[in-house]
Structure 1
Amino acid sequence: MSQKKDASVAAVLALLDLLAGEGPANRFEAVVEEARRQGVTGADLRMVEQTRRLALGIQARLERRQQWSAALAALVDTAADLASPHTVEDTLKIITRRARLLLGADVSWVTLPAAEDDGGFRLHSLDGHVTMLNARLRLPKGAGLAAAVRAHRAPLWTSDYLTDDSFRHAHELDQWISAEGLHAVLAVPLSRAVTVGTLHVADRSVRHFSADEIALVNMLAEIGGVALDRAVYLDETVAEMSALRERVLRAEAAGDEARALAAAQGALLDLVLGGCDPQLLVEECRRRLGAPVLLCGPHGTAIAASGALSGRTREEFARAAEDTGTLLDPSPALLDYGIWSVPVLAGSHHLGALYVQAGPALSGDTAELLRHAARAAAVLLSLQEGGGTVVEGQFRDELLGDLLISVPRPRDVLERRARRLGIGLDQPHVVVVARVAGDPQAHAVTRASSCARRMNGLQTTHEGDIVLLLPGTDPGDAARTVHDELSSLPGGPPTVSGSGPVSDPGAVLHGYREAARCLDAMTALGATGTSASTHEMGFVGLLLSEQVDAERFIQSTIGAVLDYDEQRLTELVRTLDAYFDTGGSPTYAAEKLHVHPNTVARRLERIGDLIGSDWQRPERALEIQLALRMSRIRRVLGERGEPAGDQDA
């Protein structure tokens, strides 16, 4: 018995010795077996086995503490590593690598909200993966462990991902999980200041995650979240600094351009004030712009040119100048053939235009330099003209005044004087008469003179009214243009009338008288403050006109009905005559025409489609009846063989 007691005590001491020496677990079992062989039984054997169990428990606790200490040391190393400045991408790589190593897992990754901001996620910074199916892998909204973690803000895990139905699956992610052979997946929230991501670790075997493992990964995620916040802020700061650096560089470049523009403007003004001629100024402009330059007068006449101007280039310049006409916007305008135009203006006085063949695109500094060059040209031309602008204005007033006197002047003299001003009296012109409240105001005369000069016409005051002779064929449009030009002046809108067109110096006086009668009629009819032409006033304009154009009146009133009858052999004109002859009664008109009333109704409806639905209004009906009667008289006289030209009167 003493010998067995000694054997049990020796076994207990051996177990304690193994515990103290951190022996392997199989050695503990060997000590118990040795005690059995030596005959230890009963209570002594139970004591030895209990000692083994206690020793193994103590050893397991020591091992867990050692593992926990090692994990904490790894977390400290991770925190120290993340304390250094990193980009967002590098920070995510450090987090996933340390998470995988910390748990000895097979794969780790991070999911972050997708850039599309639609509630979905994208995988980032995978570590340990062996396939490429994860490239730009995107999880839809509410799918995967990431969505569940984001909803609960707590760690979640599954021992076998593909067979777990406790969360919503996504086909793309399941396909990748299957390709990687992953089963157990742990996901913990990766907190950030603005959004919430998720840190995942996964094994290629089915297993459970212990509380210590979950706690370790959760602590790593907390540390990583803080580091990720700082990395995001660092990236944003770097981006802002880069943008600020770009703004500084642009500001410096803009300053250099401004200084260069100021130097160019100073050089151009020095040339002008030094008394240079236009050719020298244009050459300086060409040198600074690096493109051919042409300076033209107000009517397209070339004043000076510089650069490699071939015959074709000169033709293109001339064609562009002719097509453009007068420009008043000081900004450069792109014409055809890559030519840019900018007007040369002295106040409201148009002195010409500057043309540059600079291609289809124009930089901001080049456009500003063009404007400076045009201003310098305006100063030069104004200095050279001296009082020429005033003298030219007097010539224009005197020319139109001579055209309005009853004593005729020699035609060749009038045409020669007009050509000096760039006006061709043999071309179509319209006469416009404007009447303002009281005597012609100085502002109205000045505004009308500017309008006439801009349109290359003439202006003067005659018998208390403002008279303009403007190029064109539409007197109504010209009257509206002058009315709009003078309407902004104090004293109320003017009354404006127009007549024409005229293409002979001797016809200007007749056009003026016709427009003046139209103006008097507008005043008598209470239409002051408006604009109109003799053509627009219907039969009243017909009566006012010195040269009665009955054919035009008939065509403008019922021409569509006449053409319809002629083309389709209908009787719309005859129906109109019957309708008016019977006092506007479709029933009586049908009896007179020996047709059904519905036929008359359909014809009247067709007439409305042709000349307008308001043709039965009293004023329209009066004009239509007058046109019908004139048409009938012309037809009867024509059948008698009398000359058609004698019937207009």
Structure 2
Amino acid sequence: MPNTLSLMSSLRDVASRINTDDEVDTLLHSLIELACQHGSWDLGSIMSVDAAHGDALVIARRDTALLKRPLSDRWELATSPALVALQRNEAVYIRDALETTEFLGYRREAAERGYRTVLVLPMACHDVEGRPMVLVVLARKIVDLPAEQLAFMELIVHLGAIAIERTHRQRAQQAAAAQLRRVVDVQGAMLEEVLAGGSMVTLTAMLADLLDSPVLVIDLYGGELHASRAPHASLDMAAWRAGLDGDAGQQIRAAALSAIERHALRRVPLDLPDGLTLHANVELLSVDGDTVGALLCFGEREPGDLHTISIENAKFAMSVQLMRSVIRFRSETRTLAELFFEIVERRWRDEQDVLERARRLGLVLAAPARLLVIDYPHRSVAAFDRSAECHRAANMLAVQHKLAIHPITVGNGFVCVLPDAPAHTATAFARQLCGALGALLCGEPTLIVSDAFTGLTALANEWERCWRMIRVARAFGKTGALSVPDLGPLPMLIGAADSSDVRAFIAGTIGRIVEYDAKHRAPYVGTLATYIRHGCRAQACADAMGLHVTTLRYRLARIVDLFGIDVETPERRFAVELALQLHNLLDAGQPVGAASHNAD
């Protein structure tokens, strides 16, 4: 056994030599060579333990035999002490491999290669693939292993593990630095392309290279889908492009936008019509706080700050690029909207000048035309602006119906100015558009088609009539593509409902009872409305309101005494019912009969 001074000198030599190796493979071969040389062992190897496949793999070897012969580089863990050493985290010492009954693989190989003693040492490090390793040394003769010699070998292995982990860190740092340089270069090139007005095709390809995964960019204002490459091996680029232009594109767009509204932007499943399901991370693209698009990254999201920075810079570059579509859309819609409201609010002075301005915008108002007024469904939660999507859907359907429409955003909806067409064509277009917008807005909108008109004054009149019908539809909760018969006789009455005569009629008929109910929280208006609605039949009204018939009669008597309202004659009953309906349309958000039924 070497003395202490010799052992210290050996350790110094080991530390010096492995410290100069920068490559993992070189370091592993140096380590097994030094372990054999300073530990007086004849043969040795370093093995990686692949527990998932049940194998131990030789990744570095020292063999001093003069006659070289093929040696196995793969051992079954069931016949190797490597797994035992790792599980126990301690050395496995086989004094005589020819006589061992526990590790038959070494017993067989010992006879073939002529060695006797085996020492397996666990290493506190991993190979380049993250697998744990062991160091194995062998002697051609039987070697007794005192505690000092075992401690010396463990110290050599420990020094080697430190050097290997250092090398792994250096490689990781170099790879991160190279990745950072690549990311910076691609990001710089992307921004240069954006500022130079480059194409979305080039930018999407650069973005896929930056993120190292297939990507898809949804342009809400431009109405286009921009793909880098197919996200699945079963799809070629032609099939992927064709799918995006068809039903698959619509489904992906709807799923992505739904995920954005629900703030569920991680690993969104995308079901394609052919049964294939893709998964993508959805990133929001916004300009000035408004959603302008979405970025879909297929494949697994890589962990780490560098990937997060790449995503944020990619989103910024794409948002800047999509800003052009936003500016173009807003400019066009704002110009048309300003002209439209100038007309419907009757603020023009020179009709010919307005007609000429409209013509320059592609809008011919001197010829017969119609209005299609769309009111979006009410949303209980805030949602991003989908005007561009709605305009795109309307334009696509108009092409199918061979109509040249002009969508104009107005408040919570939009107006389509379309050339005069047969009523059945306009109605068919309105109904099909209603279905398309319902799927897009997750709720059925209200659509009103105007009569044909020519000129500015007629346009303003039709707008007012359509808007009055929208108000009636809102008040009664009606949606879909509607016409006057769908709403009943009330739209004809509401046409004059804002006049002073109508309001005077309402006030003179039920004004006192309305004021009394509002002041005292009384149920008299509701009682009167329910009584008339049930044909002035006391028992039926009482049952509907959950009252005893005596209580109902007492209320009706109080209404006569307090307000002088008696509905026993047909003429008086009609006047009161008409006043209640007009009051409901003009001043109430709910039907008049919605008051509490249980108050007296």
The structure with the largest helix share of the pair is 1
TM-score, length of structure 2 as denominator length? 0.41
Select the structure with the greater relative contact order (CA < 8 A; seq sep ≥ 6): 2
Larger Rg: 1
